[in-house]
A = this chain, B = another copy of it.
Amino acid sequence: MTIPNTIEWVGELDGYARLIDQTLLPLELRFLDVHDVETMWEAIKVLRVRGAPAIGIAAAMGMVLAVRNVNTEDFETFRAAVERAAQYLNTARPTAVNLFWATRRMQQLVESLRELPVSQIKQRMLEEAITILEEDAAMCRAIGEHGAQLIRDGDSWLTHCNAGALATARWGTATAAFYVAREQGKRIHVYADETRPLLQGARLTAWELQQAGVPVTLITDNMAATVMAQGRVQGVIVGADRVTANGDFANKIGTLGVAILAKEFGIPFYVAVPSSSIDLSMPSGEHIPIEERKPEEVTEGFGRRTAPLGVNVYNPAFDVTPHRYVTAFITERGLVCPPFDVNLRRMFGA
């Protein structure tokens, strides 16, 4: 069994983007063929495609879709259309850093090609979007190769949220090690925390591991302590939204609790992260701003209201895990072990 591609480009410049409509998961696998930028904008907006790397790829392809039919040979006219496309796509998810990164990268490419005919620039834009996808897949694959070395035949590992193939071009970050270990013929099993409030573990991680033929057991977040206490878990891998210079990191709410439990039970705790998420300009985790989200995610998460009207809710989207709970970071360049302040700078510093 294999996981379908999260997002890909079908055909040539007159082709289209094809992506898994993740709003229908885990009950239905349906592909959305995206022929115009408006459809891509909506797909990003309503989370048909989600996960920072996948959003970047979608935005780059959206740029292609936006300008490929602009009928001009005048660079300034074309550049203005590229500019409008970027501004438009950036409004789809105003907090998604990779969205801005991808549209800017496409704009810079266009700028650098101003001497070329517009038709060739369009072609190079498509190649760039595909490059972004391939770079991401290669990076995730490298993370998976490094991570798989940590997993032994017969192991059960635990993961939280979805730092999975569905969030990237392929492989995922936290899940990549599982897929590569499986390819290597290791018999592995994964516990997936359901990850309240939005249930990415239940809806996405359990689904993609199942698709890939990796045995997976779904648990509620508060069962992690028990499966660890029972000796069922040999390691933990999670993703990260941002890693600071001292090794503190932000990730989906609930990660901190898993990290503390892993330490208590002597289970190694790894953070799979591309180098692009390592922010050496931020000294430590206390500087990371934590987004609070709307209470309805907690009170009406399952299709009907499950808490009293008017109840006060605290709903932080992320938590910050201090570096002392991290065994090592798994990056595309290899493992980073403590002391993190020294070793992160050595490997990723300017």
Contact = CB atoms under 8 A, between A and B. Distances in A.
Given A194-B196, A219-B313, A302-B301, A203 B307 contact: yes
Which of A227, A299, A308, A320 is packed against the most chain B CB atoms within 10 Å?
A308
Interface in A139-192: 191
A278 to B, nearest CB: 22
A72 interface: no
Nearest to A301: B302
B220 A306 contact: no
Interface string A12-25: 00000000000001
Interface stretch (A2-10, A237-245, A257-265, A340-348): A257-265
A10 to B, nearest CB: 26
Contacts of A216: 311-312
Copies of this chain present in the complex amount to 2
Interface in A288-318: 298-299, 301-316
Interface in A261-278: 261, 264
B210 A319 contact: no
A217 interface: yes
A302 B298 CA distance: 11
A215 interface: yes
A191 B312 CA distance: 10
Interface of A: 25-27, 191, 193-197, 199, 202-203, 206-207, 210, 215-227, 229, 253-254, 256-257, 260-261, 264, 298-299, 301-316, 319-320
